Amino acid sequence: MNHDAPRKTLPRLDESLLTHLPPFSRLERKQIRTILDQASSRRYDAGAHIFDEGAAAERFFMLLDGYVRVVRVTATGEQVTALHIPSGQLLGIAKALGRDTYPATAVTATESIALSWPTRLWDTFLAEYDGFATETYKTLGHRVGEMNNRIVELATQQVEQRVANALLRLVNQTGRKVEGGIEIDFPITRQDLSELTATTLHTASRLLSGWEKMGLVESKRKRIKVCDPHALVLLSQGR
């Protein structure tokens, strides 16, 4: 008779969950097993806060499934979506920024599943797991570059160019081919789009409605489909 303590209700996570993800792709299966045995797994409903801006960064996360909006709060108390993070990426990596608090709030855009580890393991992961450091800082560099591009866009581009660029970025990050175009694969509202492009809800709605009449996009029930990516590229370049 087995008198061992009862197993957790969560199933034992399989190594294949991480083998294809860049921070872990150079590791042996036994190393991945060790990493998974130290992880917690959690499922989040859409609209859940994984962590909040300013809170102590006690854990770091790997998004296995779903999409996350990174939200900042302005000095006037407004929430602004800074960027979106697709599945397969690390988040909450405050240690990589030399911080002990989270620099932004992470809110699930869809039902999502994430692994997390105590932040005290961060330095161990960097030191012991080949590729973890280089891939982590590559991801961080990519996000900083994306933010810098948006700052340049805000300073130099017309609203129409900014909104077109934002849609193209989301399509490149998360787009899936559907009949008649490429759909952004998570719910996105016109309010979200206005926050991403520092424009008003009225302007974002007006642009989308105009592009719908031209056959460039379709938007309904928080879903946006790009029907003519090339036309959007031309708009993004101010042509």
* 135: in domain: yes
* 5: in domain: no
Q: Are residues 75 and 181 in the same domain?
A: no
- 132-163 pLDDT per residue, tens: 988 888 888 888 777 777 777 766 668 899 89
Alpha helices in the chain (DSSP H): 16-19, 29-37, 122-128, 132-156, 159-174, 190-196, 201-213, 229-236
* 75: in domain: yes
The residue-averaged pLDDT of 208-228 equals 91
Question: Is the CB of residue 64 less than 8 Å from the CB of residue 115?
Answer: yes
Cβ neighbour number for residue 232 with a 10 Å cutoff = 20
Q: Are residues 22 and 46 in the same domain?
A: yes
Q: What percent of the chain has pLDDT over 90?
A: 47
Q: State the residue range of the domain holding 83.
A: 16-153
Residue 228: predicted pLDDT: 93
Give the count of domains, the chain: 2
Q: Are residues 201 and 120 in the same domain?
A: no
Using 50, 70 and 90 to split pLDDT, how confident is the model at 11? low
Domain boundary among 153, 177, 209: 153
Residue 173: predicted pLDDT: 82
Mean of the per-residue pLDDT values for the chain? 86
Q: Are residues 188 and 216 in the same domain?
A: yes
Q: Are residues 140 and 162 in the same domain?
A: no
Indicate which CATH number applies to the domain containing 170: 1.10.10.10
Q: Are residues 123 and 34 in the same domain?
A: yes
- 62-89 pLDDT per residue, tens: 999 999 999 887 777 777 787 889 889 9
Q: Are residues 137 and 34 in the same domain?
A: yes
Q: Residue 180 in 3-state DSSP?
A: coil
pLDDT higher than 50, residue 1: no
Cβ neighbour number for residue 237 with a 10 Å cutoff = 11
Q: Are residues 144 and 27 in the same domain?
A: yes
Domain boundary among 153, 183, 203: 153
* 9: in domain: no
Query: What are the phi and psi torsion angles at 154 (to 5°)?
Result: -60, -35
* 2: in domain: no
Of 6-10, 101-105, 222-226, 227-231, the range with the lowest mean pLDDT is 6-10
- 175-216 pLDDT per residue, tens: 889 999 999 988 888 888 888 887 888 999 999 999 999 999
Give CA–CA dist 143/156, Å, rounded.
20
The residue-averaged pLDDT of 36-44 equals 93
* 126: in domain: yes
- 94-129 pLDDT per residue, tens: 999 899 999 999 999 889 999 999 999 999 999 999
Q: Are residues 142 and 187 in the same domain?
A: no
Residue 6: predicted pLDDT: 43
Q: Residue 78 in 3-state DSSP?
A: coil
* 3: in domain: no
* 84: in domain: yes
Q: Are residues 44 and 139 in the same domain?
A: yes
Question: 153 or 17, which is more confident?
Answer: 17
Q: Are residues 20 and 125 in the same domain?
A: yes
Indicate which CATH number applies to the domain containing 99: 2.60.120.10
Residue 192: predicted pLDDT: 86
Q: Are residues 190 and 83 in the same domain?
A: no
Domain boundary among 94, 118, 153: 153
